[in-house]
Amino acid sequence: MPTPSHLSSKDPRYFDFRAARRVPETHAWPGLHDHPVVDGGHSAGEDAVPVVDMRDPGAAEAVARAAEQWGAFLLQGHGVPHELLARVEARIAGMFALPATEKMRAVRRPGDSCGYGSPPISSFFAKSMWSEGYTFSPANLRSDLRRLWPKQGHDYRLFCEVMEEFHGEMRALSDRLMELFLAALGLTGEQATAVEAEHRIAETMTATMHLNWYPKCPDPKRALGLIAHTDSGFFTFVLQSLVPGLQLFRHGPDRWVTVPAEARDAFVVNVGDLFQILTNGRFHSVYHRAVVNRDSDRISLGYFLGPPADTKVAPLREAGGKPAYRAVTWPEYMAVRKKAFTTGASALKMVSASTSDDDLSDLFSS
């Protein structure tokens, strides 16, 4: 399986995006312009990315429409302080500005889930992406980041403190959004409480944080910040700087919709594959990518929520209808997803209810 040349364990040389005057073939992607790109701002009509304000009494209905029709929305009125988000963005920018030798101390090795490097998804592709990333678990934040700051000095302490504060806010917000999602399925407060008591979905959710830096690019029409994909877990909060780059794929006709970045403090919420399974297809995951531009760097943070590794995810009976998917754990689904990436198949179709026990077992073990 190919790995990105600039961060490969076999060739640990650092690709200096700042010094690049052209896009090398290793980073040049074909087929980037097979579909038109349209603006997703509030005046874009049917292509306007949905906005959900958590303070609105009709927020649940707005979530239902967005999750069913788009698989994503902009979330406002969430209560996470603006000044905290500004500090988070500043800390991320400072981390990616560190010298290459310091960042490479924390390079993510094959099999590692945390550390510095290209997006984890890049290992499935021969081409490299125009971005750098850092992944860590909030539960192990300080030990994970000691790889980057082994002396645990001022920058380390400040970074950890800001990210711990952010994690606290986001974990509470995750619980509130889960309540909103259950209400969007049509559950009453009493029914939602019963679902949580039975399945402990919100209580046991685990979080992962992925920081992204998309440097400005000398030829953005040839490069790609993040390959098109769906998220695998329940749902993802995306905090992005005021530079557009995130695009959502829509059908009828096929097109890419650019998510507006001018909405200060708004999170993008992406529905993930396991949430599509949990809601029995009522809410669907969204195919998305990140593009780069010539004039500005872009920073984003993905806060990913999903189930514990040993928890089977199956359609909730409260979602209605005959179960459309088989029960899978997150690691089992990732094994299927890996196979799907290498064959061009759909991972969700591979775990549909029509898949036989033998075929499913083969997928998990492959």
Q: Do residues 231 and 272 make contact, with C-beta atoms less than 8 angstroms apart?
A: yes
CA 196 to chain centre: 24
Could you count the other beta carbons within 10 Å of the beta carbon of residue 263? 18
**288-290 and 246-250: which strand pairing?**
antiparallel
Active site residues: 298
**Look-up: residue for tokens 């990913």?**
304
Helix (H) or strand (E) holding 72: strand 72-76
Residue 75 burial (CB count, 10 A) = 26
CA distance 187 to 79: 24
Distance (Å, whole) CA 263 – CA 51: 10
Residue 133 pairs in a beta bridge with 117, 212
Torsions phi, psi for 41 (to 5 deg):
-70, 175
Neighbours of 80 (CB within 10 A): 17
